[in-house]
Structure 1
Amino acid sequence: MMNQFKEWNIDPNALTKVSLVMLDEMVTRKEKWDQYKKAKDHWSLFTLLSLGLFLLFGAQVIRSVGGAIGPNLLSILVGNVFLLLLILLFAVGLVQVKLFTKKVTKAEDEFESLRIECIDRSSELWEEDQGWKYRDDVFTYMKKNHDVNLYYK
């Protein structure tokens, strides 16, 4: 944890142990949130692609049977393993998108609650007069390198 903050070129006494732990946890939560957002985006793309392929190949199958799909729909689907696979992939994609949507929301809530707590407790985290001099440097670093805004709620 301490190695990550050595690159700031800030006096180690400027940050309290509590503020170091809080900032490290905030960076960890932000990375987790970003990771879940990226996974959700990938699964969304996968789901759209599987739906597109299903519609494309489904239209070809319908054209090949002459457009009469009403009573024969189930037999057409069972007879075409590729269409069943595309339906399965689409269903898996939908479930994964829903799962990662919940994870993204939870990770965002956890990150935001810690960020707001850090803003509210900033007077406790930088008690000494010297600490207040470095506070702006720390906040700027967090915004620039980790996209964490600690200036306001």
Structure 2
Amino acid sequence: MSVHLELKDNPVAKVMIDELIVRKKKLDTMEKLKTRTSISVIVVSVALLLFGFNWTGYGVLGLPFSINGSFGIILFLCSALGVARLLHLNKKTDKADQEFEELREEFIQRSEDFWKEDHQWKKREFTFNQLLKKYDINVFYR
């Protein structure tokens, strides 16, 4: 994956930008997966509550709720596995976010070294704007 920006004279900047894009895509993918898993857990939990609600008597611990039957047990297991997966995805998303932010901050710090001369600052601004527009990566500030 190569960025089609004016970085012919900055191979290190090009490598860092490519890695920024890869990490941003990984972060976006993890966030989408986390959102889908959250919605799935909510749907399964609501189905479990609707299925297990006992209108006539009292079930577990005096609450009007019971998990009678194999369908209720399956819903309960799916809900528990979904919550466990959601916790795992939350940790992975936080790690991906931390890695992305560390590289982004390092790139911002080193950007002055990549574009040292005055005539290169227009290329720098063009590169930063393209990163913001195409990939939603803001490297204008920390």
TM-score (norm 1): 0.83
- Give the whole-Å Cα distance in 1 for the aligned partners of 2:138 and 2:61: 59
Say whether residues 1:31 and 2:25 are aligned partners.
yes
Determine the structure 1 residue equivalent to 2:91. 102
Match 1:89 to one of 72, 78, 82:
78
- Give the whole-Å Cα distance in 2 for the aligned partners of 1:70 and 1:91: 17
Determine the structure 2 residue equivalent to 1:57. 51
Determine the structure 2 residue equivalent to 1:67. 57
Say whether residues 1:119 and 2:108 are aligned partners.
yes
Q: Unaligned regions of 5+ residues in structure 2, if any?
A: none
Report the AA paired with residue 110 of structure 1: E
Of 98-107 and 129-138, deviating more is 129-138
Secondary structure of the corresponding residue to residue 108 of structure 1: helix
The structure whose Rg is larger is 1
More helix by share: 1
CA deviation vs aligned residue, 1:2-51 (integer Å, no higher than 9, x gap) = 3x41xx4x3x53x4110000000000000000000000001100100010
Change in 2 beyond 3 A, CA 1:35/1:70 = closer
Report the AA paired with residue 67 of structure 1: G
The number of aligned residues is 140
Same amino acid, percent of matched pairs: 34
TM-score (norm 2): 0.90
Which of 1 and 2 has higher RCO (CA within 8 Å, sep 6+)?
1
Determine the structure 2 residue equivalent to 1:148. 137
Say whether residues 1:17 and 2:7 are aligned partners.
no
Secondary structure of the corresponding residue to residue 130 of structure 2: helix
Secondary structure of the corresponding residue to residue 99 of structure 1: helix
